[in-house]
Chains A and B, each alone.
Chain A
Amino acid sequence: MERPLTRNIRPDEPPLALEAYRRVGGYEAVRKALAQSPEAITQAVKEAGLRGCGGAGFPTGVKWSAVPMGADAPHPKYLVVNADEMEPGSFKDRLLLEGDPHQMVEAVIVSGFAIQADHAYIFLRGEYTLARQRLGAAIREAYAAGLLGPGILGSGYGLELHVHSSAGRYMCGEASALLNALEGGRAIPRAKAVRTAVSGLWGKPTVVNNVETLCNVPHIVNNGAAWYKSLGLGDAVGTKIYGASGKVKRPGAWELPLGTTLRAIIEEHAGGMRDGVAFRACLPGGASTAFVGEAGLDVAMDWHGVQSVGSRLGTGTVIVLDDQTCPVGMLLSLQRFFAQESCGWCTPCWSGLHWVASLLHRFEAGQATEDDFDLLRTQADHLTKGYTFCGLAPGAMESLASGLDLFRDDFMRHVSLRRCPWRA
């Protein structure tokens, strides 16, 4: 099985330095890309069917195609790597950044070339200090080797790459809010009246992509779209970094063919549940996805498969809830996070999420009534897509709405016992 994204990554070993990375074929994609037209790269990415791994799954080549190209395109153009990774339960980008920083740099150069970006930013989560050091070292090496800066490898294409270390806010991961953060402001989302591909950072054409999304690009350039497609299972294309956390035997992250089943991830790769606990449900793609119960385990973890059981692939990192853990408490932990991280821009989000967290806390404290359950429902119904300004609150409601369905009895036990049944 091919694992292009993680092939150079060894647990608890430092990443490959430039020479070693080159020895295993690193930066070949840069050479190949520079010999082609930018449009050809975009076309290849489109053909490969690469979709965004930041959670929304938007086709990457389509996004790039919206960038104005040619002699009278506005400049500078920007490529931004979304390395904010603050979604609870997600830890795949950290693996790529710490494990193979040169792959990230190469991905930036090749992708930047495709849209003819002049500057690229890696918008890095502030707490990722190790990733920052390693990326910094890789970028220095790349500059020294003429892979970054003006006239890359003697070509007419130049690119400056900067790392921006975030001051911490989940909203920064939302692509348009991220741009406001890069501009030195509050990370408030932007209206979707205009595509960032046309007017983004400082009003210039800008593409924002997730770390994992971009890391695929050099491999597509090296091996072609057909190869990339062949990596997936069934209709799915490419590989995906899946992860599992919670009370499984071997929590971790693995690069697997896209379309691997949820059951395979939890039972084979994560080793199944720890002794003494049993599987209850899971969030298949991070905190912003809906619960999937036992019945949904055989679904293929790809863009369509997970949707068929009412959830989403999201970031592909599974959070497992076991039968010894209080689902209400888990929801409280999730919703406290979302309420805390709301940026304060739109009413449903800043007020509604606070209310949700307060209500869940009341259940947890054994003070809730059945009415409070209905109130939670009302909130969940009205904090969904289209009602709010951005995706934060709707994402938050995925776990809540499904949790209210799945764990109604648990909620009611909190009401009737006037305490959390899971606490002594």
Chain B
Amino acid sequence: MATLYVDGQAFSVDPTQNLLHECLSLGLDLPYFCWHPALGSVGACRQCAVKLFRDEGDHQGVIVMACMTPADDGTRISLVDEQARDFRARVIEWMMAHHPHDCPVCDEGGECHLQDMTVMTGHVHRRYRFPKRTFDNQHLGPFVNHEMNRCIQCYRCVRFYNDYAGGTDFGVFGSRDHVYFGRAADGVLENEFSGNLVEVCPTGVFTDKTLKAHYTRKWDLQSAPSVCPHCGLGCHTTVAEHDGVLRRVQNRFSADINGYFLCDRGRYGYAFVNAPERLRRTSLRNAAGRLNLAPADALLQELCTRLGGNMPLIGIASPRASLEANFALRTLVKPENFFLGWSAVEDACARTMLAVARGIAPLASLAEVESSDAILVLGEDITQTAPRMALAARQAVRHAAFAKAKALGIPVWQDLAVRQAAAGLKSPLFIASVDATRLDDAATECWRGAPDDMARLGFAIGRRLSREEAGGETFPSAMEGFSQRVARALAGAARPLVVTGSSLGCPALLDAAAHLVGALRTLGLPAKLALGMPERNTMGLALMGGESLHTLEQATQKLPACALIVLENDLSRRIGEAAADRVFAQAGLTVLIDHKRHAGVERADYVLPAATFAEESGTTVNHEGRAQRFFQVFSPPDDIQASWRWLRDIGRGLGREPCDRWTALDDVLHTLEETLPVFHGLAQAAPEATYRRHGLKLARKPHRASGRTAVHAHLDIHEHQPPTDCDSPLTFSMEGHQGSPPGPAIPVFWAPGWNSVQALSHFQREVGGTLCGEGPGLLLIAPAQQVPEFFQEIPPAFVPRDDALYFVPAWHIFGSEEQSAGSPAVRERIPAPYVALRPEDAARAGLAAGDTAALEVGAVRLRLPWIAHPELPQGVGSLPVGLPAMPWLMLPAWGAVAKASR
């Protein structure tokens, strides 16, 4: 720690940081633009000027940029110095000289950093009396709106998009007062993190296009802390609603997880909540086989009557449903009748992931991924399956640059200086994958192979690390060479990391990765494993335990006598439509609880509309075994309620204990904790519903949320009582505590004078650090103390076949995840179905460019356009999974391909 004197007052600060960082950490108001806690300093905007004094005797001082000046011990500065204040006012004046002052029609208005800084510097009078420059705007696709006239040339956008996120289709053009930030030509922003521009840009150049479609000012939005439901990483989000419509998703900072940035799926996948076609009403199938609306009470009564006292219940759970919902189902149907709603392959992968995490490989958080100094990605295309992890890995390669900078005496926050000094120097990132990935450009070296060959590669590397014979197995020389380089890099690192996941449906890959981590740990290195998982609660469901759908399919003979309850699950996406149909057809009676309309709705006898992540509170467990609470942001309309409540209602109708006693979320949580020890402490993952701050619940709406009375005054002057929320410590109104609650329960980041997302720094212990009151979170999985025997089952090498290709699943950030695929903006980015083939393999099948391919994979026949992917290994093809327009396929699988006849 060092001492910094600000206007005569002594503060204890971090000398490795810059003055701006430290002033903001101290809660002092110092305006800035180009600096960003995650992007560092470049000194371009000149807004953060302060007066720096040589020593106590120096009263003259010099103007310096706080963001470019180290907070060395004994530094004396002044923020209130007249010259400094005057200069800061000039900088704003220069920026505003070219800004259109169009706040009333700008989406950023009311949460604009430029507005805040203008007010902070006291710039109120315009002296610039010349025409302002104007620019054309670009169409940048469905996510981001572009309004260049508002630009203040702070360079944040291009620094985030290109330097930080690795984007290549964005740039900075022109010079002087005519600098343009955009694409070389109109077109979709290709980078998976483009939406962060909306938060990174301090003014209204880049705004959320989906919000624009149902625009609401920040002060009219009701917000709640949430967790992204679109993959297993569990990024923290803030979701916002107005008038029953979910309006937007923003990043919610968390030091251990997503930091300052979200992927575009997380940001733009939300609109499925508003989809007109989703399930909203209770309905039941009549004698004629038609689904009819029915009032919830009557329907429940009828259902319970039919279930009678003793009709056995079978429950199918879901990795996209909360722990509470799954547990309610398990409680209702009894553990022996509780089936994890996933296929045998999904089950094998989930079990293996849990086993390795409990056995030998501690799981890495996203922050730990970012701090790793050598990474091997084994098989998982994380940009598509766990996007935010790819962004973290992209930063991890900078450690070598940081080390070089340190040696040269350049502080790491000197962003451009560090990048220039590094001149492309990277920490090792090795990528083994089936096909080219969007992270390859950051990699030291890439290697392609079939899934089993990648598992073999993992063992080959592990063998080098442990210097064992690995059962006398021999590996091809190319694999040996690559594994030698990887082994050397991992063994030479201080914090090595192996990344893999379940997306290829290959448990051997998970074994191999774990084996590697084990070998590294045996060497005494704190190696970790990071896992990509497809769904938000995959890990939670694995922890809960149960049999897979495969077991259920084996036991169909008992189905006709049973009532089947399907929880938030589209079985056709798990086992295919035919198999799902069979299950539905055989069951004596079926109940479907879901928010999404899918094939199951047409099969069910009773349909109960479930709340989405935005309409209920609950808990999920992310890829690193971290239990996370998400909070409801609004009360759903119509018959919609949280799944666990539907299950509770059935339980009540049937007089089943203990679910009949549950009234609030915490009741479920407490039963869960008592019943399943793995979940011990779960209720404390976030403040419980009884939490109060100064005797108050926490307000979801900001002070200025305009009158419930005023908006509809022409119709009704009565205030409607806001719904009460018994599940969380939050209220559905502006009445309540507005300050800074504990990290996991912060509904919105706002501080006096700081209306934009940059208000965040007022909620952190120090800028860029953990949120006040945010613990390490509840980690449910710890590896065994002793490193047990390594997995040693090395799969045989992949052998291409003449008569068939081995098809592996190709995941897409947009399209493979079912909930986000229901959002109109995301839908625009979903690729059309295709089959990817290595050109040689295509030629062998008689396919020329532009031909349609005829495929036979398992029992499924398909006609698809083919595209050339020259990086695919010989004999391996890939097919997109989960796209709305693709039929379900059991992958990986061998299949035949030929030229389709017309």
Question: Which of A23-31, A57-65, A348-356 lines the interface with chain B?
Answer: A348-356
How many of chain A's residues touch chain B, expressed as a range? Answer: 35 or more
Q: Known: A190-B417, A342-B175, A389-B43. Is A199-B87 also a contact (CB below 8 A)?
A: no
Bound-state Cα–Cα, A339 to B90, Å: 17
User: Are the CB atoms of A344 and B179 closer together than 8 Å?
Assistant: yes
Select one of B46, B177, B420 contacting A389, CB under 8 A. Answer: B46
A309 part of interface (Cβ distance < 8 Å)? no
B59 part of interface (Cβ distance < 8 Å)? no
User: Are the CB atoms of B423 and A340 closer together than 8 Å?
Assistant: no
* Residue of A with least CB distance to B94: A351
What residues of chain A lie closer than 8 Å to B47, measured between beta carbons?
347
Q: Known: A203-B420, A351-B97. Is A346-B172 also a contact (CB below 8 A)?
A: no
User: Are the CB atoms of B423 and A193 closer together than 8 Å?
Assistant: no
User: Are the CB atoms of A342 and B176 closer together than 8 Å?
Assistant: yes
Select one of B86, B95, B414 contacting A191, CB under 8 A. Answer: B414
Bound-state Cα–Cα, A354 to B93, Å: 13
Select one of B63, B176, B416 contacting A190, CB under 8 A. Answer: B416
* Residue of B with least CB distance to A383: B90
Question: Which of B404-412, B471-479, B784-792, B864-872 lines the interface with chain A?
Answer: B404-412
User: Are the CB atoms of A190 and B178 closer together than 8 Å?
Assistant: no
- CB-CB contacts below 8 Å: A165-223 with B: 169, 186, 190-191, 193-194, 198-199, 202-204
What residues of chain A lie closer than 8 Å to B128, measured between beta carbons?
355
Bound-state Cα–Cα, A342 to B177, Å: 8
Specify which of B46, B153, B176, B404 lies most central, judged by the most chain A CB atoms within 10 Å of its CB: B176
- CB-CB contacts below 8 Å: B392-427 with A: 404, 408-411, 414, 416-417, 420-423, 425
User: Are the CB atoms of B176 and A347 closer together than 8 Å?
Assistant: no
A375 part of interface (Cβ distance < 8 Å)? yes
User: Are the CB atoms of B176 and A341 closer together than 8 Å?
Assistant: yes
Least Cβ distance of A90 to chain B in Å? 21
Select one of B62, B153, B416 contacting A350, CB under 8 A. Answer: B153
Bound-state Cα–Cα, A194 to B91, Å: 26
What residues of chain A lie closer than 8 Å to B410, measured between beta carbons?
193-194, 199
B127 part of interface (Cβ distance < 8 Å)? yes
What residues of chain A lie closer than 8 Å to B408, measured between beta carbons?
194, 198-199
B224 part of interface (Cβ distance < 8 Å)? no
Least Cβ distance of B32 to chain A in Å? 12
User: Are the CB atoms of B64 and A193 closer together than 8 Å?
Assistant: no
A388 part of interface (Cβ distance < 8 Å)? yes
Encode B415-444 as 1/0 by CB contact (under 8 A) with A: 011001111010000000000000000000
- CB-CB contacts below 8 Å: A368-424 with B: 375, 378, 382, 386-389
Select one of B49, B63, B94, B153 contacting A344, CB under 8 A. Answer: B153
Least Cβ distance of B420 to chain A in Å? 6
User: Are the CB atoms of B421 and A199 closer together than 8 Å?
Assistant: yes
* Residue of A with least CB distance to B409: A194
- CB-CB contacts below 8 Å: B228-251 with A: none
User: Are the CB atoms of A378 and B176 closer together than 8 Å?
Assistant: no
Q: Known: A342-B176, A345-B44. Is A194-B425 also a contact (CB below 8 A)?
A: no
A343 part of interface (Cβ distance < 8 Å)? yes
Q: Known: A199-B420, A203-B425, A345-B44. Is A387-B177 also a contact (CB below 8 A)?
A: no
Specify which of A191, A348, A388 lies most central, judged by the most chain B CB atoms within 10 Å of its CB: A191
Bound-state Cα–Cα, A346 to B68, Å: 13
Least Cβ distance of A171 to chain B in Å? 8
Q: Known: A191-B417, A341-B176. Is A348-B91 also a contact (CB below 8 A)?
A: yes
A325 part of interface (Cβ distance < 8 Å)? no
What residues of chain B lie closer than 8 Å to A6, measured between beta carbons?
none
Bound-state Cα–Cα, A339 to B177, Å: 8
Q: How many A-B residue pairs have CB under 8 A?
A: 108
Least Cβ distance of B118 to chain A in Å? 13
A358 part of interface (Cβ distance < 8 Å)? yes
Select one of B90, B127, B409, B420 contacting A382, CB under 8 A. Answer: B90
User: Are the CB atoms of A203 and B62 closer together than 8 Å?
Assistant: no
B797 part of interface (Cβ distance < 8 Å)? no
- CB-CB contacts below 8 Å: A289-328 with B: none
Bound-state Cα–Cα, A353 to B177, Å: 9
Least Cβ distance of B400 to chain A in Å? 12
User: Are the CB atoms of A203 and B91 closer together than 8 Å?
Assistant: no
Q: Known: A186-B172, A191-B417, A386-B62. Is A348-B68 also a contact (CB below 8 A)?
A: no
Q: Known: A186-B172, A191-B414, A203-B423. Is A350-B42 also a contact (CB below 8 A)?
A: no
B670 part of interface (Cβ distance < 8 Å)? no
Select one of B44, B130, B414, B420 contacting A358, CB under 8 A. Answer: B130
Least Cβ distance of A31 to chain B in Å? 35
* Residue of B with least CB distance to A341: B176
Least Cβ distance of B237 to chain A in Å? 33
Bound-state Cα–Cα, A295 to B128, Å: 36
Encode B43-58 as 1/0 by CB contact (under 8 A) with A: 1111101000000000
User: Are the CB atoms of B44 and A346 closer together than 8 Å?
Assistant: yes
Least Cβ distance of A382 to chain B in Å? 5
What residues of chain A lie closer than 8 Å to B417, measured between beta carbons?
190-191, 193-194
Least Cβ distance of A248 to chain B in Å? 32
Mind listing 6 A-B residue pairs with CB under 8 Å? A190-B417, A191-B416, A202-B423, A344-B175, A353-B176, A389-B43
Residues of A within 8 A of B (CB): 169, 186, 190-191, 193-194, 198-199, 202-204, 339-348, 350-355, 358, 375, 378, 382, 386-389
Closest CB pairs A-B (n = 5): A203-B423, A351-B94, A344-B179, A199-B421, A193-B417
Residues of B within 8 A of A (CB): 42-47, 49, 62-64, 68, 86-87, 90-91, 94-95, 97-98, 127-128, 130, 152-153, 155, 172, 174-179, 404, 408-411, 414, 416-417, 420-423, 425
Q: Given A193-B68, A194-B408, A386-B63, output 8 extra A-B contacts at Cβ < 8 Å.
A: A194-B414, A199-B420, A203-B404, A344-B175, A346-B44, A350-B176, A351-B177, A389-B43
